[in-house]
Amino acid sequence: MSTNTATAVLLWSCPDEKGLVSRLANFIYEHGGNILDLDEHVDRSAQTFFFRVAWDLDGFGIPLDGLDEAFRPLATEYGAQCSIRLNTQKRRLAIFVSKYGHCLQEILWRNELGEFDAEVALIISNHPDLGYLAERYHIPFHMLPVTKENRAEQEASQLALIDEARADTIILARYMQVLSPQFVARHPHRIVNIHHSFLPAFAGGNPYKQAHERGVKIVGATSHYVTDVLDEGPIIEQEIIRISHKDSLEDLIRKGRDLERLVLARGLRLHLQDRVLVHGRKTVVFD
């Protein structure tokens, strides 16, 4: 899909019934839209229809500020959940980090290449170690140390910074803190995390140590949305690599770093391109 023209993306889910693809595609066609990309999926066990369509807005007959209102009667008719985003509405990212820099560097590098077509609005950390990367990329860096005693106060400061920067997507790039349910509730399905294991295996802390002690033959990484239950959010992207009895714990960590940065980047790209629909504890990913 070309990024040189104004386009819209519709994400849609509703109870399944016949004719949904035709009805939605014809609605776009009848208003002068040229469909560029279309994908759909039916979860037969849940009898739920999932749909993603992108179309060219050149000559489209509905004013851009009226798109939501125009689709509302259809959504009401089918009992649908839907969202529409224009590619001109560039996402603004807030990246949370601690001391590990590999995931942060991957995101900043790919965004500099134009892969994400987003703006990194700010970087927030509980340590000063990665401030040099923010300085290199001319990104505001905020160091807010977190302890048990000041956690609520620091989260309030973080949320204020996010609001001030108008950030709409939060990335936990190996941020070694657990966010409170109140924080997560402010940004539902907009917090993308990287966990250094193939979830649901080895959730929680020290997953490489857990994997090494268990003698597994593969390790993995998982990009997922954050919920108020640790490491159980809907999964966006995963990858694995084989290991053997010869690999030390340090080898697992070294190999895992490559997976972490790639899986987070892939998951973030899918989110930013509106290719992920959340359905309960699962996702439908139109890649």
Catalytic residue set: 231
CB 163: neighbour CB atoms within 10 A? 11
Give the dihedral sign, CA 282/92/10/40: negative
Residue 225 near residue 282, CB atoms below 8 Å: no
Q: In what order do the strands lie in the sheet with 48-56?
A: 34-43, 48-56, 7-15, 81-86
Dihedral pair phi/psi, residue 111, rounded to 5°: -70, -35
Distance from C-alpha of 275 to C-alpha of 277, rounded to nearest angstrom: 7
Of the candidates 19, 187, 4, the one whose C-alpha atom is nearest the C-alpha of residue 94 is 187
CB 113: neighbour CB atoms within 10 A? 8
Of the candidates 265, 219, 264, 266, the one whose C-alpha atom is nearest the C-alpha of residue 244 is 219
Residue 187 near residue 117, CB atoms below 8 Å: no
